Structure 1
Amino acid sequence: MADAEYVNIWMRPERPAYGPKPAYSRAQITEAAIRIADAEGMEAATMRRIAAEIGAGAMSLYRYVPSRDNLVELMADRVMGEIDVTGMPSGDWRADLTRYADGLRAMWLRHPWIATVQRSLPSFGPNQLLLIERLTGVLDAFVSIDENLGLIAMLNSYIEGTVREEISSAKEFRRIGLSESEWMARSYPYVDQLVKSGKYPMFTKIVMEARQPHLSRDDQFRNGLQRILDCIAAALPSNGRVSEGSRD
């Protein structure tokens, strides 16, 4: 059952209409929370810890940020503001979506805690709204709004799925104390045994022929992104297509 008293954080005034100026701001609280989460993970960004970071009483922060969910909304919207969508749409949809994809991936890698708080229900903060306006504006001239939303969802699913795996892998390598190349070297005897068994022809083909697993993370991401952009291109009318020479 919905909370009849719920008020969206973006509808709550940051300071009362009357009375003394607040000692702190949502921006201060949000920035402190992000610093803590970047260094130690989202679970470390408690109200008590944030209060200590900015020199406030823990309970006093609830006057500015009423709940943990509100804090997450503020943090997520703040880091979305790091994605540069200036000048979009530029008229070159492929370049625009590539720039957005690179920016979203870079933001997730700077703030890996975002993978633990990314939510399906949007909060429509100011930075998220700017992204919506600019990103959907890129394809607006070519397709209906429903097709537009579907294509952007496909793009976002690729970016977030790929970078989520990248963050998870990096965390696992740190846990076991090995680099990716060291882990592959350690795994080689078993992989060699599987290949020589002759029981797994497709696995053997991957091991012997696939180039993708040996690329850098950047190159893997870019190759996959080009395939997604090819799929988007196929869904656009001819006036939305780009020449082969402009894809590289």
Structure 2
Amino acid sequence: MNASEPPSIWMRPEPANRRTARAQRTLSRAQIVRAAVEIADAEGQEAASMRRIAAETGAGVMSLYYYVPSKEDLVELMVDEVIGETRLPERPGADWRASLVAAADEKRALWLRHPWLATAWTHGHPIWGPNSLRQQEFVLGTLAEFDLQVDELLSLIGLYNSYVESFVRNEVGWLEEARRTKMDMTEWMRRSRPYAKQLVATGQYPMFTRVLTETMTPDMKPEARFHYGLDLVLDSIAATLARLA
């Protein structure tokens, strides 16, 4: 990117459609992003290279850069594209807690549909695409009725986001690992059993032994465990709001 180019993909208007030299048909930014998402869904985000997308769209690799200047821009467009699947009301309801639960459920469902989201964006800065901004506005707006300083608001929403993303990242991590290695959790546990028994036999790890034993027959399914932890986080937020009132 040279100094005269806008620093954000969202400041760069969609280039006019043009025929590709290879396929002699039109190509667009939207087509590129859709192809990238389909590849990432099927094979993981690392498979969605510019070369692979070019092959899927029938375009030359350099033609893609006319629409999407960098791989980082592509990832940002991909993330915002799938966030557009999120189904939330235009504004949060009167019950802030119910609104945050709804947003958490939508994010979990989205990441389970697109497991690559858990690792796709690691640069740390937020995405300011239209779909991402609508989602952010909804979540931040759940606590708008409270007289919070911005730092207080961001801390409470940060606590909430950290829990939701941490839980789901771990959950989809197993899905991605199973896709990559063709070995699900059940098979991993079977292969790990001899070493686990050796560790238990030492008697040095009583809490590990308890966790391991009870994990084999879990009381909660993942969704119930997700909501149990979410309720604890929302209880903490409610207690903080009461204290700040």
TM-score category of the 2 structures, normalised to the smaller one:
0.7 to 0.9
The equivalent position to 1:50 in structure 2, one of 53, 57, 63, is: 53
Q: Percent identity?
A: 50
The equivalent position to 1:135 in structure 2, one of 136, 139, 143, is: 139
| d(CA) in 2 for partners of 1:173, 1:20 | 40
Question: Does 1:153 pair with 2:152?
Answer: no
Structure 1 residues 204 and 3: alpha-carbon distance in aligned structure 2, compared to 1, 3 A threshold: same
Name the residue aligned to 1:121: 125
Describe the SS at the equivalent of 1:89. Answer: coil
| d(CA) in 1 for partners of 2:179, 2:36 | 24
| d(CA) in 2 for partners of 1:175, 1:37 | 13
Amino acid at match of 1:101: A
The offset of 1:15, in angstroms, is 3.1
Cα pair 1:85 1:100 within 8 Å, conserved: yes
Amino acid at match of 1:84: R
| d(CA) in 1 for partners of 2:90, 2:130 | 17
| d(CA) in 1 for partners of 2:179, 2:56 | 27
Describe the SS at the equivalent of 1:150. Answer: helix
Structure 1 residues 140 and 58: alpha-carbon distance in aligned structure 2, compared to 1, 3 A threshold: same
Q: TM-score, normalised by structure 2?
A: 0.82
Cα pair 2:115 2:175 within 8 Å, conserved: no
The equivalent position to 2:225 in structure 1, one of 204, 220, 224, is: 220
Cα pair 2:75 2:121 within 8 Å, conserved: no
Amino acid at match of 1:45: A
Structure 1 residues 225 and 107: alpha-carbon distance in aligned structure 2, compared to 1, 3 A threshold: same
Unaligned 5+ segments in structure 1 are 241-248
1:164-212 Cα shifts (integer Å, max 9, x gaps): 1112223334556554345445555654554454433333443566899
| d(CA) in 2 for partners of 1:132, 1:35 | 25
Question: Does 1:166 pair with 2:171?
Answer: yes
Question: Does 1:75 pair with 2:78?
Answer: yes
Q: Decide which moves more: 86-95 or 170-179.
A: 170-179
Structure 1 residues 71 and 220: alpha-carbon distance in aligned structure 2, compared to 1, 3 A threshold: same
Structure 1 residues 133 and 44: alpha-carbon distance in aligned structure 2, compared to 1, 3 A threshold: same
Q: TM-score, normalised by structure 1?
A: 0.81
Match runs of 1:8-19 below 5 Å: 8-15=8-15
Unaligned 5+ segments in structure 2 are 20-24
| d(CA) in 1 for partners of 2:135, 2:189 | 39
The equivalent position to 2:112 in structure 1, one of 104, 109, 112, is: 109
What is the aligned-residue RMSD (CA, Å)? 3.0
